[in-house]
Structure 1
Amino acid sequence: MTTASDLHPEQLRALLHFYADAGVDWLLEEEAVDRIAEFEAMRAARGMPARQEVAPEPQRPARQAPQRQEQPRAAAPAPLPNVAIPDSQAVAEAEFAASSARSLEELRTAMEAFNGCNLKTSARCLVFAEGNAKPAVMVIGAMPNADDDRDGQPFSGRQGAMLDRMLAGIGLARADILLTNVVPWRPPGNRPPSQREADICRPFIERQIALAEPNHLLVLGNFAARFLFRSNDTIHQLRGEWREIDVSGRAIPAFATLHPQDLVTAPISKRLAWQDLLAFRTGLKA
């Protein structure tokens, strides 16, 4: 049986990434269990004849099956804890790291060195802001998906192509804006970030906004809208209206609409998104 110690570091890294993509957070048991021996022990306990084994070759001594029935089965070990668990100390460390950055590049470096969020342990890479460092418009989504995590860029793949079409419809391009996400590391299996994970990431996204100094924010999707507006309403209640977000003492006009992924999975929602984008464009000219 191959164990983790038998693997080359690159093979182990690839295996862990495969588990992360599949949504695996931890192993249930630390050691392999011989299920065949367990089955034979169960048959013996019930008085059933054991399955006939093929005789071993003469030159090789036969291996005796472990007498599992003579020993009580040990309880399965508790799930292994995550490498890093978000807590108040991690939030304080994130706040310190974010506030110490004086530019977006310094903030990227600080986030790459930060180990206080457990999402970093399963993600391939940090997905940082990309585009115009001093934009008129900053676009903020929720979190990286598998394409973003693979490419190291926000809004890649099909949802990125959809976003490009959305922006082109109101006369904007990627080169004109700054693209980013509330959470910079992809959660395993694309699950929603927990509240504690979001709390740890808040200092980083707020510092990105403060350093970029955008004139307007376009917020995409349910999670990002709830996070930035500090609301429990759904995206359908928050979309289509201008609000203000206070970041570092500066009030920034913000407008929420559906996420590009919403339009990929439910094309009927494009009508609502188009109405929002037209209203957003009107607000930019006001």
Structure 2
Amino acid sequence: MQESLSSFKKKTPEQEKKQKLLDNIKSKLLKELVCPLRDEANNLVFGKGNPDADILFIGEAPGEKEDLQGIPFIGRAGKELDQLLHSINLSLEDVYIANILKYRPPKNRDPKKEEIISHTPYLIEQIKAINPKVICTLGNFSTKFVLSKFNPEEMKKIDGVSELHGKPIDIKINKLNFKVVPLYHPAAMLYRPKLRGALKKDFKKINKVIKDVKKDES
């Protein structure tokens, strides 16, 4: 079941406004998206969290548990992400989480080019609706997708997230400017525990990036 704005204790006018935009995007996707993944998946995994969040996390695609429940980042990876957020005095309810693909690829295989192309317009609409201060890409796939799409010159300089993690990068989406902070995927800590320290350091940088963005806007 998709998490809704009702999970928040207080609904600000801006939250209400942005939630309506997200609901409209979701409805549009359900009506228009032509993708074979829909036939094989159990649920649409659109996104969850605060529609007026300062931080938008973007992952690759839903996994098995996410597909069954229709909610992104549950299970161990979600718990790791929640712990990292708590380390900077935030929680999952303070941020918004979405994936590039809204339906799970069979057996968690890598997304195909045509699947990415068909889903991309809806992710762009999500980003514009939320209008976050910072976009955090989780893992190599998400980082390469966002940079190759919105800052290809920067993408040409690097091989993956290991070269860019924790470093803010400027991108432009339909005349809107955003800061992107590439991060290791929280799930990577499950098989590479040494990355925990790097992730914690990178998360501490996020608040500073947000403050800098707000300062530039004022």
Structure with bigger helix share is 2
Code of the residue aligned with 1:220 in structure 2: it is L
2:190 is the alignment partner of 1:264: yes
Code of the residue aligned with 1:143 in structure 2: it is A
Aligned to 2:4: none
Aligned to 1:135: 53
Change (3 A) 1:115 1:206: closer
Structure 1 residue 212: deviation in Å? Answer: 1.0
State the SS of the aligned residue for 1:154.
coil
Aligned to 1:152: 70
State the SS of the aligned residue for 1:163.
helix
**Which runs of no fewer than 5 residues in structure 1 stay unpaired?**
1-101
Identity of aligned residues (%): 28
State the SS of the aligned residue for 1:124.
coil
The alignment yields a C-alpha RMSD, in angstroms, of 1.4
Aligned to 2:161: 235
Contact 1:126 1:152 in 2 (8 A): yes
| Runs of 4+ that moved beyond 6 A | none
Normalising by structure 1, we get a TM-score of: 0.62
Query: 1:22-171 maps to which residues of 2 (within 5 A)?
Result: 103-171=21-89
Aligned to 2:200: 274
Structure 1 residue 285: deviation in Å? Answer: 2.5
Distance in 2, Cα, partners of 1:266 & 1:124: 30
State the SS of the aligned residue for 1:103.
helix
1:199 alignment partner, one of 117, 120, 123: 117
Larger Rg: 1
Distance in 1, Cα, partners of 2:191 & 2:30: 32
After superposition, the C-alpha distances for 1:83-120 in whole angstroms (9 at most, x for unaligned) are xxxxxxxxxxxxxxxxxxx8110111111223411222
State the SS of the aligned residue for 1:171.
coil
Alignment: residue pair count: 185
2:128 is the alignment partner of 1:210: yes
Contact 2:72 2:97 in 1 (8 A): yes
Distance in 2, Cα, partners of 1:281 & 1:264: 25
Distance in 2, Cα, partners of 1:114 & 1:153: 21
